[in-house]
Amino acid sequence: MSFFEQMKKKAAETSPKKDSKKTEDVNESEVVEDVESNDENVDESTPEHENTESHEMTFDAVEPVQNTSSEIDTSEGKHFSVGIDLGTTHCVLSYADVTAGDDEFSQQVMGISQLTSPSVVEEKLQLPSFLYQAHDAELPAGSIVLPWNSEPNYIVGEIARSLGSKTPIRLVSSAKSWLCHAGVDCKSAILPAEAPDDVQRVSPFDATKAYLEHMKDAWLHLYPNAPLSEQDLVITVPASFDPAARELTVEAARSIGLGQAILLEEPQAALYSWIEQTQGEWRKQAKTGDVILVIDVGGGTTDLSLIAVTENDGVLDLTRVAVGDHILLGGDNMDLALAYTVKAKLEKDGKRLEPWQVQALTHGCREAKEKIFSSDVDSVPLVVPNRGSSLIDGTLRSELTRDEVNSVLIDGFLPKVEVSNRPVSRPRAGLQTKGLPYAQDAGITRHLAAFLAKQQNAADEFDSINLPEGATFLHPTAVLFNGGVFKAQALSNRLMEVLNSWLTTENAPEARLLAGADLDLAVARGAAYYGFVRKGKGVRIKGGTAAAYYVGVESAMPAVPGMPPEIQALCIAPFGMEEGTQVELADDEFGLVVGEQVRFRFFASTTRREDVVGTRLDYWQDDELSELNEIEVTLDQENRRAGEVVSVHLGSAVTEVGTLELQAFSNKDDGRWKIEFDVRN
Amino acid sequence: MDITAYTIDLTLKPTTFDAWHVCLAGTAAILAAALIITLLSMVICLARRKNNHEEPTVKIVEKVVQSEPVVQIVEKIVEVPVERIVEVEKIVEKIVQTPAPAPVVLKEASADAALQLLYLLQNDARFIDFIKEDMSAHSDEDVGMVARVIHEGCNKVLDEHFSFAHICKENEGDRITLLDGYDAAKVRVTGNIVGNPPFTGTIIHKGWQITDVRLPSTVQGYNASIIAPAEVEL
């Protein structure tokens, strides 16, 4: 019998006598306390009202206030499948416990601790992909700290975005788009691109590394016993990322100890997420012969992919057959477009807007747009309060109407066009060399038309997918949307309407919408699910490389004065090369000089599916091959004389990670050299 | 009949002293002595009893004890009444000494959390600017326009950092019955409060309860009193 029980018994024996003495209607539990403590400082005059939970009859059993800060790490010995959506404007990390190894898969999105203003740390589901290069005197000492690091190297996340909104010259944004920007060295400190010399710059590579490192540390803070470096990790990249950008992403992960990370294309991740969320039902919603069009419109980029559904021995197979170009056009453009519409309206009334007002207007337009799309109001007032402490004086006001939203967003970004329409591209005026190559045509439907027409033959290899005679584009049968933009029903409806009008003119059935996707978090969720799928726990999308790759070689012909030598494109990696395979160009010999850097021009084609390794192209259409950053190789001098010419042949491999590796093999011995993508300009 | 014939003459004295008179005198003396002894013993007894009045109680208990067959139990029961008496005395003493309830130690509200909320409301919704502005200088229309922005911002801040729930599930205006033992902290009854629960009444306000708080954490040494730093554009 425990001491407490003894006390309770005594108390029970005592109480009748108490009642007879009419002391006070003290209840039993307090007597227990009294006997138990037996000293003088008994505080019996404050009866507690906590034990009333069972008496509630007609009220909501609301949970008591909880303190969420004290989480206990239970990760010891656990294994997770982690997916990171390394977005242009936001990063998201999703994960699932796969320790048990059964077929159950339930995942969650990690709250990423980050500074939201100096000295204030908050957990948010998204880490804004921004980096701020603060001035030494700008922020109070000791205010830039993180729960796991008192001196972070970089200021990233929400605080970077909010500080940068007022001081854009110090803000690094869209680092990811720079990774895929031909013509710059992504490892040289170039961002922020338009900053004064005073501002210390970082490279797009380092910025990417900083975002990854922040998430790695936030994870470790949450699960000290299960570091991210020991988990299955999938990082998503746009399907349109070229081999160099993929390599840089993997390298960034590797440099912070996440060498096990593998890559996944974002539209594929979105489809994986949809498959996971339908919980097996997808087999009923998709059927053999389907061509699924994934339209992923993020904050800054538009990514298109086509996935064919075929049958193999009674099992449905998914093959990613085509990806679109890297289009720098996204949801942020839409908000900006609305802000400029309102700005024009205000300027017509003779008001001059300052940059900060335009920015506040952009923010206001984003919310007004959501309100118009989600309710049936016809106009939403827009107010830009004065920056000073007096709000009302100097307040700028206008309104955003449904007609404006329709004409600017729906007709501007998703115009009703014929499928024969193509994006307009004008010659750029003036200095454009330093900036990102933003899409010139905002018409997403025109980009889509161009993509579908260009990829008309993408699914030719499958017997079950047949285009009717006279078709001018590949007919998708199903559409999966991704990205917050499509939360607006009006926009997704318009896109479906335009696509279906194209299909109807070619007598094809209308495409159906694959419903049930989580538009904001699908990519990260799909990535985490992919880690699970890789263990053989679900259907895997096949695809391999999304393009065929070529090196430029000079053709053997007499030199013509004033004319550059003709270039031939030599196929070095075919379209659809699977992960874990490698090919060599044994017949084409090159003489490389030891110790000298040799550079090749490098091309990609997303349409030439028949070319095999070693195919030489003398002539190609402009839109068939696109030139990427040059590649280079330097033969080290180990065991060789400087200036010696070594006969080599080239080869390529697609790694399990999902990157393309180019190599030069010696024809005489077993020497081999890596051909690098990142070229210094 | 002549009454005087029975009158006793008290002045009469015995003139003779015989053996009968000796016997009578002796008896009177013995009775007087016995009376004195009895009275004296009573006085002593009373005096002793005042000195220790517990003794008889214990004696009575002991008598009861003796009727119990098992010796171990005897010991226990003797022990308990003694303790019990002490216990009761203690409580009685307290009530006598402090007729008013013992003082309550009040918990002081943390200023930091309050300041933090003000910071969030100001930073994300310009709340302080709005409340501190001289409203009499502006038209209703102007105030209304700005109020929209402030309202939206404040609502966002609240939703971001707190989870709200109504205490009553039913709608306002509905009749509900409060059972005995309902939580008086959650439900306040007003008006015609008579009799005992269950009470039946109309919901005037559904109540609010915060079910989750997600305030940001702050760095050691963070000065929470600065809810909006001055802004200087260079």
pLDDT at residue B6, as a whole number: 64
Q: What are phi and psi of A7, to 5 degrees?
A: -60, -40
Is A497 found in the same domain as A453?
yes
Is A354 found in the same domain as A408?
yes
Answer whether A43 touches B (CB < 8 Å).
yes
Question: Judged by CB atoms within 8 Å, which residues 24-43 of B form the interface with A?
Answer: none
pLDDT at residue A249, as a whole number: 92
ipTM: 0.71
Q: Which residue has the higher pLDDT, A435 or B156?
A: B156
Helix axes A3-21, A28-37, angle to 10 degrees: 120
Which residues from B are below 8 Å from A121, CB to CB? Answer: 216-219
Nearest Cα neighbor of A477 from A313, A292, A624 is: A292
Answer whether A64 touches B (CB < 8 Å).
yes
Q: Structure tokens of A611?
A: 């070319």
Distant-in-sequence, close-in-space partners of A328: CB < 8 Å, separation ≥ 6 = A177, A300, A301, A436, A437, A438, A439
C-alpha B122, offset from chain centre: 44
Does B9 map to a domain? no
Is A155 found in the same domain as A299?
no
Which residues from A are below 8 Å from B132, CB to CB? Answer: 389
Chosen domain end from B66, B96, B126: B96
**Cα–Cα distance for residue pair A498/B198, rounded to 1 Å:** 64
Does A417 map to a domain? yes
Nearest Cα neighbor of A277 from A55, A394, A442, A105 is: A105
Biggest CA-to-CA distance, chain A: 124
Average pLDDT, chain B: 77
Nearest Cα neighbor of A551 from A532, A571, A533, A581 is: A571
pLDDT at residue B10, as a whole number: 63
Does A531 map to a domain? no
Answer whether B176 touches A (CB < 8 Å).
yes
Is B190 found in the same domain as B141?
yes
Domain range for A347: 287-425+437-513
Q: How many domains does chain A have?
A: 4
B-interface mutation test, from A24, A42, A56, most B Cβ less than 10 A away: A56
pLDDT at residue A434, as a whole number: 59
Average pLDDT over residues B118-131: 90
Does A445 map to a domain? yes
pLDDT exceeds cutoff 50 at A10 = no
pLDDT exceeds cutoff 50 at A325 = yes
Q: Are A392 and A415 in contact (CB under 8 A)?
A: no
Is A237 found in the same domain as A125?
yes
Question: Residues B2-34, buried b or exposed e (16+ Cβ, 10 A)?
Answer: eeeeeeeeeeeeeeeeeeeeeeeeeeeeeeeee
Domain range for B125: 111-213
**Cα–Cα distance for residue pair B203/B191, rounded to 1 Å:** 12
Q: What is the nearest CA distance from B161 to chain A, expressed in angstroms? A: 10
B-interface mutation test, from A48, A59, A65, most B Cβ less than 10 A away: A59
Q: How buried is A298 (Cβ within 10 angstroms: 0-12 exposed, 13-18 middle, 19+ buried)? A: buried
Does B190 map to a domain? yes
Which residue of A13, A60, A391 is in closest CB contact with B166?
Answer: A60
Q: Structure tokens of A214?
A: 């922040």
pLDDT at residue B137, as a whole number: 84
Looking up tokens 């699914």, which residue turns up?
Answer: A459
Does B77 map to a domain? yes
Is A464 found in the same domain as A389?
yes
The band of A266, judged by pLDDT with boundaries at 50, 70 and 90, is very high
Most confident of A575-584, A639-648, B46-55: A575-584
∠ CA A284-A288-A291 to the nearest 5 degrees? Answer: 100
Nearest Cα neighbor of A406 from A504, A357, A308, A337 is: A337
**Cα–Cα distance for residue pair A598/B140, rounded to 1 Å:** 74
Chosen domain end from B96, B131, B153: B96
Alpha-carbon torsion, ordered B11, B15, B16, B20, to 10 deg: 0
Does A658 map to a domain? yes
C-alpha A558, offset from chain centre: 49
Does A8 map to a domain? yes
Q: Are A131 and A210 in contact (CB under 8 A)?
A: yes
∠ CA A448-A452-A457 to the nearest 5 degrees? Answer: 165
Q: Is A213 helix (H, G, I), strand (E, B) or coil?
A: helix
Answer whether B86 touches A (CB < 8 Å).
no
Does B64 map to a domain? yes
User: What is the tens place of the pLDDT at every residue in A189-203?
Assistant: 888 888 888 899 999
Q: What is the nearest CA distance from A345 to chain B, expressed in angstroms? A: 18
Is A225 found in the same domain as A88?
yes
Q: Which residue has the higher pLDDT, A102 or A241?
A: A241
Nearest Cα neighbor of A170 from A179, A157, A161, A178 is: A161
Which residue of B142, B145, B182 is in closest CB contact with A381?
Answer: B145
Q: How many CB pairs under 8 A join A and B?
A: 135
Which residues from B are below 8 Å from A65, CB to CB? Answer: 210-213
Residue A86: strand pairing partners: A91
Biggest CA-to-CA distance, chain B: 145
User: What is the tens place of the pLDDT at every residue in A337-391?
Assistant: 999 999 898 888 888 888 888 888 888 888 888 888 888 888 888 888 888 888 8
**Cα–Cα distance for residue pair A131/A617, rounded to 1 Å:** 43
Most confident of A646-655, A668-677, B48-57: A646-655
Q: What is the nearest CA distance from A99 to chain B, expressed in angstroms? A: 30
Which residues from B are below 8 Å from A141, CB to CB? Answer: none
pLDDT at residue B95, as a whole number: 52
**Cα–Cα distance for residue pair A239/B100, rounded to 1 Å:** 77
Is A34 found in the same domain as A88?
no
User: What is the tens place of the pLDDT at every residue in A500-532?
Assistant: 999 999 888 899 998 877 788 889 999 999 988
Does B3 map to a domain? no
Q: How many domains does chain B have?
A: 2
Average pLDDT, chain A: 81
Nearest-by-CA chain A residue for B96: A23
Nearest Cα neighbor of A73 from A215, A217, A222, A219 is: A222
Is B183 found in the same domain as B147?
yes
Answer whether A467 touches B (CB < 8 Å).
no
Is B136 found in the same domain as B88?
no
Q: Range with the lowest mean pLDDT among A50-54, A303-307, B55-59?
A: A50-54
CA distances (Å), B23 to each of B15, B16, B27, in order? 16, 14, 6
Does B101 map to a domain? no
pLDDT exceeds cutoff 50 at A48 = no
The band of A54, judged by pLDDT with boundaries at 50, 70 and 90, is very low
Which residues from A are below 8 Å from B203, CB to CB? Answer: none
Which residue of B148, B150, B221 is in closest CB contact with A142?
Answer: B221
Chosen domain end from B45, B65, B96: B96
Which residues from B are below 8 Å from A123, CB to CB? Answer: 214
Answer whether A22 touches B (CB < 8 Å).
no
Does B102 map to a domain? no
Q: What is the nearest CA distance from B70 to chain A, expressed in angstroms? A: 20
Is B155 found in the same domain as B188?
yes
The band of A557, judged by pLDDT with boundaries at 50, 70 and 90, is low
Which residues from A are below 8 Å from B92, CB to CB? Answer: 21, 23
Residue B136 identity (one-letter amino acid): S
pLDDT at residue B78, as a whole number: 40
Question: Judged by CB atoms within 8 Å, which residues 267-306 of A form the interface with B?
Answer: none
Q: What is the nearest CA distance from A367 to chain B, expressed in angstroms? A: 10
- Tell me the CATH number at A384: 3.90.640.10
pLDDT at residue B24, as a whole number: 84
Q: How buried is A246 (Cβ within 10 angstroms: 0-12 exposed, 13-18 middle, 19+ buried)? A: buried
The band of B40, judged by pLDDT with boundaries at 50, 70 and 90, is confident
Which residues from A are below 8 Å from B119, CB to CB? Answer: 120
Global pTM value: 0.75
Q: What is the nearest CA distance from A14 to chain B, expressed in angstroms? A: 7
Does B39 map to a domain? yes
Question: Judged by CB atoms within 8 Å, which residues 378-437 of A form the interface with B?
Answer: 381, 383, 385, 387, 389-392, 395, 397
Is A406 found in the same domain as A294?
yes
Does A69 map to a domain? no
Residue A257 identity (one-letter amino acid): G
Which residues from B are below 8 Å from A68, CB to CB? Answer: 212, 214
A-interface mutation test, from B95, B155, B219, most A Cβ less than 10 A away: B219
pLDDT at residue A578, as a whole number: 86
